[in-house]
Copies of this chain bind each other. A is one copy, B any other.
Amino acid sequence: MNEKFSDDIYGRARVQDTPELEAYYKELEGLGAGALWTVANDIEPWEPKSKSTPMLWKYESLRHLVLKSSELVTPEQAGRRVVYLVNDNRKDVSAAVGWLYTGIQVTRPGEFTSAHRHKASALRFIMEGEGGYTVVDGNKIMLEVNDFVITPNSTWHEHGVDANGKTCIWQDGLDIPLVNALEANDYAVLEGTQELVAPINYSPMTYGGTGLIPPDKEWNKPYSPLFKYSWKVVYPALLEAEKVNEPNPLDGIIMKYTNPMNGDHVMQTMGASIQLLPKGFKGKAHKHTGSFVYQCAKGKGYSIINGKRFDWKERDIFCVPSWAWHEHHNLSETEDACLFSFNDLPVIEKLGLYQERFFKENNGHQIIE
C-alpha cells in the first residue's frame, strides 16, 4: 500500500479499540451485527483487487498427463475426462483465474460422453486431433484445430470423436465458479446422447455468411446461433484486417467473437477474442477489470504480467487476473503469433464495472522484476 492510498485520512475508518468499544462489538456480534468501521477499510479498497495470481501452464508438461487420464479412467467413470488448471490462490473455487474455470479434455476415437446441461456456460478451443465434435441442443458440429465452439447456458451438450478420427484434445472454459458463487448453478443429465435435430454443421453453414442472416428463421435465444467460429475463416479475416489496419498498440489485430444477431458477446456471461500479434510486435501494457484466460493458437512470444515474464508457445495456456498490468510480445521477427482468450467481460460490462488504465512510464512497457 503506497502513500497515495493511506487510510489515515478523513473519510476512512480510524477508530482505536477501547474496552468500551470491545464490549460494544461483542454485544453486536450476539445479534448478528457488527460495527462497520471495524471492516470498512478492508471491504472498500482504494483500487480493484484480485485474489488470483498470474500463472502459465506449459502444454509440454501437461500433455502426457492429459493423455494418461484416458488410460486411468473411462468417460463413464469420470463424467468428463479433464485435467483442470487451477490458480494457486483460487483452489477453493476450482478457478484458473477470478471466477473462470478452465481444463484440458481428451477424447479418443470412438469415445463420447453422455449429454448434460447446466446454468454455467461453456466454450471450447480445439488443440489437437481430427474428427472431434460437439452436439449442442441437437446440432452436431465438427471441430478442427483452433476452432472455437460454444455450449451456452442450459443447452444440452455432449462431445465425442468419430471412430475413424484421431485423439482430440481441447481446452474447456466455463464460468462454473461464477455461477456457483451467484448461487444459481444447476445440472441435469440425459440418458445417453441427443437425437440430432439438423444436418451436421447446420449452425455454421446457416449463420456463417458475413453480415447475412436468414430472415425466415426465428432466433430468440440469448446467445449466438453461430455455435462454431472456424479457424479456416477466422485466421484469414485477421490477415485481411492486418493489411488495412495499424496494429493496436496494446493488442495487435484483435477481433471479438460476436453473436451475429446483435453484435454482442457470444454468450451472456463469457466473451472470447482472437488476436494476431504481427511479427516483431511488442505490445504496450494496460490493466483493466475482468479476468482472462489465454491460449496461444500460433507462434511464440511472451507476456509480462504485473512485472513478471511468462514465455509461451503454441498450446500454452496462461491467465491475466483483474487489474493486473499486462503486455504481449511476439518473439518472432518472421511470423505472426495468435492468442485466443476468453473472459468474464460480459459480466463486468453489463454490471457497469469496467475500468481501464494505461501504463505510461517507460514508453508503455513494464520493467521485468
Q: Which of B113, B120, B184, B208 contacts A355 (CB 8 A)?
A: B184
Q: Could you jot down 11 A-B contacts, CB within 8 Å?
A: A21-B73, A33-B57, A33-B83, A33-B85, A50-B183, A182-B322, A184-B351, A211-B260, A212-B255, A216-B251, A268-B350
Does A367 have its Cβ within 8 Å of any Cβ on chain B?
A: no
Does A177 have its Cβ within 8 Å of any Cβ on chain B?
A: yes
Q: Report Cα–Cα, A11/B208, bound state, in Å.
A: 32
Find out whether the CB atom of B259 lies under 8 angstroms from the CB atom of A211. yes
Find out whether the CB atom of B234 lies under 8 angstroms from the CB atom of A78. no
Q: Mark A287-309, 1 if CB is under 8 A from B, else 0.
A: 00101000000000000000000
Does A20 have its Cβ within 8 Å of any Cβ on chain B?
A: yes
Does A353 have its Cβ within 8 Å of any Cβ on chain B?
A: yes
Q: Report Cα–Cα, A322/B119, bound state, in Å.
A: 15
Determine how many copies of this chain the complex contains.
Answer: 4
Find out whether the CB atom of B15 lies under 8 angstroms from the CB atom of A73. yes
- Report the minimum CB–CB distance from A54 to chain B (whole Å): 11
- Segment touching B, from A36-44, A127-135, A161-169: A36-44
- Segment touching B, from A194-202, A277-285, A330-338, A358-366: A194-202
A44 touching B187 in the complex, CB below 8 Å, given contacts A182-B347, A240-B208: yes
- Report the minimum CB–CB distance from A349 to chain B (whole Å): 10
Does A145 have its Cβ within 8 Å of any Cβ on chain B?
A: no
Q: Which residues of A from 66 to 115 have beta carbons under 8 Å from B?
A: 68-69, 72-73, 76-88, 93-94, 98-99, 101, 103, 113-115
Q: Which of B36, B103, B261 contacts A263 (CB 8 A)?
A: B261
Find out whether the CB atom of A119 lies under 8 angstroms from the CB atom of B213. no
Closest 6 A/B residue pairs (Cβ)? A209-B237, A11-B189, A183-B322, A36-B82, A184-B353, A212-B255
Q: Mark A47-60, 1 if CB is under 8 A from B, else 0.
A: 11111000101000
Find out whether the CB atom of B83 lies under 8 angstroms from the CB atom of A34. yes
Q: Which of B14, B98, B344 contacts A77 (CB 8 A)?
A: B14
Q: Mark A140-163, 1 if CB is under 8 A from B, else 0.
A: 000000000000011000000000
Find out whether the CB atom of A244 lies under 8 angstroms from the CB atom of B206. yes
A62 touching B255 in the complex, CB below 8 Å, given contacts A182-B347, A241-B206: no
Q: Mark A220-249, 1 if CB is under 8 A from B, else 0.
A: 001010100100011001101101110010
Q: Report Cα–Cα, A113/B51, bound state, in Å.
A: 31
Find out whether the CB atom of B352 lies under 8 angstroms from the CB atom of A153. yes
Residues of B within 8 A of A37 (CB): 73, 77-82
- Report the minimum CB–CB distance from A204 to chain B (whole Å): 8
- Report the minimum CB–CB distance from A44 to chain B (whole Å): 5
Minimal Cβ-Cβ distance residue in B for A180: B43
A351 touching B268 in the complex, CB below 8 Å, given contacts A45-B186, A322-B184: yes
Find out whether the CB atom of B24 lies under 8 angstroms from the CB atom of A68. yes
